């Protein structure tokens, strides 16, 4: 019987589920899972996850005391909700989960480190090894510097919202564990900018990840590459062989239902034979390259703003839920 594309992909690449939906993770049985503020907000709105949300809200209220207002409780709860989902996910996947630092801290190294340590502390208290957790941080220069110091403390990081080779090189030099270049969002920018459609190896997102992967393997960096944000399975096919790929449930289903040959496109042995120039890296070079790369500049800014907006929506959702819980409690008391 012919193997599906998903079965073949798993033979050369670690498959990661890009979702906060626990049912999808149970269905596709990925090695790892990753979430982000948008995915967490979507999951928190699903009726089946209300018990998780309610438990986190009650714990936050207990922690802050009876005098705390709903906004403060919601703010604490949202920081604990990602870990609550992470713990559920780790009960299913054999590998790691990525838990994201507040995107609004993306340009604050110290605040990013403080929140990352708090996330790890929560996992530690739940008896979960830090080897099973990746802290997701946006690939700004302050974010990369925070990740460099966290890695020295044994806290492993996943640098996200990565669009340019300058971001990737800075991450590798900082010895971060993993990077997540956003394939589909790069494609989106070029399609909007040029009005053209791109397929196969012409896809700018595919080209970006291929360049980064070959650079890392050529120069022997330990940082691994996890392609993310896919628009179609054609992009996934072109990146077969990447260290990891994080894939949304809809595309996992398509891969699972598609047969055919899946040749390996990315291979560390091939990278050794390529002529690649080493890029020196420091803050000045990073900021210059970032300013000159319009796509990376636009998409990083847009990504941070989008994740920040999702967090604000999640905070409001939690505050509204808390108010309903309070109203329900008052009705129960009145009925007695």
Q: Is the model's pLDDT at 334 over the cut of 80?
A: no
Work out the pLDDT band at 336, boundaries 50, 70, 90. Answer: very low
Phi-psi region of 50 (alpha: psi -120 to 50; beta: other; left: phi over 0): alpha
Asked if residue 110 is part of any domain, the answer here is yes
Asked if residue 42 is part of any domain, the answer here is no
Identified catalytic residue from 61, 136, 145, 217: 136
| Collapsed DSSP state (helix, strand, coil) of residue 123 | helix
Asked if residue 321 is part of any domain, the answer here is no
Work out the pLDDT band at 210, boundaries 50, 70, 90. Answer: very high
Q: What does 44-100 look like in DSSP terms, one character per residue? A: HTSGGGHHHHHHHHHHHHHHH-TT--HHHHHHHHHHHHHHHHHHHHHTT-SS-EEEE
Q: Which of 209-218, 282-291, 325-334 comes out lowest in average pLDDT?
A: 325-334
Asked if residue 83 is part of any domain, the answer here is no
Q: Is the model's pLDDT at 211 over the cut of 90?
A: yes
What pLDDT sits at residue 330? 47
Q: Is the model's pLDDT at 335 over the cut of 80?
A: no
What pLDDT sits at residue 328? 58
181 beta partners: 162
What pLDDT sits at residue 169? 98
Among candidates 101, 110, 89, which has minimal Cα distance to 139? 101
Mean pLDDT for all residues in the chain: 94
Whether 136 is catalytic:
yes
Work out the pLDDT band at 37, boundaries 50, 70, 90. Answer: confident
Asked if residue 183 is part of any domain, the answer here is yes
What pLDDT sits at residue 329? 57
Say how many Å lie between the first and final Cα of the chain, rounded.
65
Q: Is the model's pLDDT at 72 over the cut of 80?
A: yes
Full 3-state SS string of 275-330: CCCCCCCCHHHHHHHHHHCHHHHHHHHHHHHHHHHHHHHHHHHHHHHHHHHHHHHH
Q: Please compute the mean of the pLDDT values over residues 301-314 and round it to a whole number.
A: 94
Q: Please compute the mean of the pLDDT values over residues 162-172 and round it to a whole number.
A: 98
Q: Which two tokens stand for residue 146?
A: 């925070």
Q: Are 92 and 22 in contact (CB under 8 A)?
A: yes
How far apart, in whole angstroms, are the C-alpha atoms of residue 151 and residue 170? 14
Asked if residue 181 is part of any domain, the answer here is yes
Q: Which of 118-127, 138-147, 318-327 comes out lowest in average pLDDT?
A: 318-327
Work out the pLDDT band at 332, boundaries 50, 70, 90. Answer: very low
Torsion of CA 284, 286, 291, 292, to 10 degrees: 110
Task: State which residues form the domain around 112.
Answer: 5-32+91-295
Asked if residue 198 is part of any domain, the answer here is yes
Work out the pLDDT band at 75, boundaries 50, 70, 90. Answer: confident
Asked if residue 102 is part of any domain, the answer here is yes
Q: Is the model's pLDDT at 132 over the cut of 50?
A: yes
Work out the pLDDT band at 333, boundaries 50, 70, 90. Answer: very low
Q: What angle do CA 163, 165, 167 make, to 5 degrees?
A: 70
244 beta partners: 14, 226
Domain with residue 114: its CATH number is 3.20.20.70
Percent of the chain with pLDDT over 70: 97
Q: Is the model's pLDDT at 66 over the cut of 80?
A: yes
Higher per-residue confidence, 335 vs 21: 21
Helix H or strand E encompassing 150? helix 141-152
Work out the pLDDT band at 40, boundaries 50, 70, 90. Answer: confident
Number of separate domains in the chain: 1
Looking at residue 259, what DSSP letter applies?
A: B
């Amino acid at each position: 019987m012919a193997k599906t594309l998903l079965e073949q992909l798993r033979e050369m690449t670690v498959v990661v589920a890009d979702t906060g939906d626990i049912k999808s993770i149970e269905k596709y049985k990925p090695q790892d899972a990753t979430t982000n503020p948008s995915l967490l907000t979507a999951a928190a709105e699903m009726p089946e996850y209300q018990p998780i949300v309610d438990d986190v809200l009650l714990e936050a209220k207990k922690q802050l005391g009876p005098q705390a207002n709903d906004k403060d409780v919601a703010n604490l709860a949202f920081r604990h909700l990602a870990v609550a989902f992470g713990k559920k996910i780790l009960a299913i996947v054999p590998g790691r989960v990525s838990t994201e630092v507040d995107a609004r801290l993306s340009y604050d190294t110290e605040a990013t480190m403080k929140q990352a340590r708090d996330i790890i502390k929560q996992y530690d208290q739940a008896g979960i090894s830090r080897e099973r957790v990746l802290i997701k941080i946006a690939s700004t220069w302050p974010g990369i510097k925070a990740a460099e110091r966290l890695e020295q403390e044994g806290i492993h990081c996943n640098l996200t919202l990565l669009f340019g080779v300058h971001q990737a090189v800075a991450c590798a030099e900082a010895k971060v564990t993993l990077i997540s270049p956003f394939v589909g969002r790069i494609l989106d920018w070029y399609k909007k900018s040029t009005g053209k459609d791109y397929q196969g190896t012409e896809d700018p997102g595919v080209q970006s990840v291929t360049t980064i992967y070959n650079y890392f393997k050529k120069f022997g960096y330990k940082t691994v590459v996890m392609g993310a944000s896919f628009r179609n399975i054609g992009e996934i096919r072109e990146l077969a062989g990447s260290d990891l790929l994080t894939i949304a449930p809809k595309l996992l289903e398509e891969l699972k239902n598609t047969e055919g040959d899946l040749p390996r496109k990315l291979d560390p042995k091939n990278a050794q034979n390529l002529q690649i120039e080493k890029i020196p890296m420091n803050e000045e070079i990073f900021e210059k390259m970032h300013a000159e790369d319009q796509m990376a500049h636009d998409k990083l800014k847009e990504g941070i703003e989008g994740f920040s907006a999702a967090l604000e929506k999640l905070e409001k959702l939690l505050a509204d839920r808390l108010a309903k819980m309070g109203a329900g409690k008052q009705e129960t008391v009145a009925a007695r």
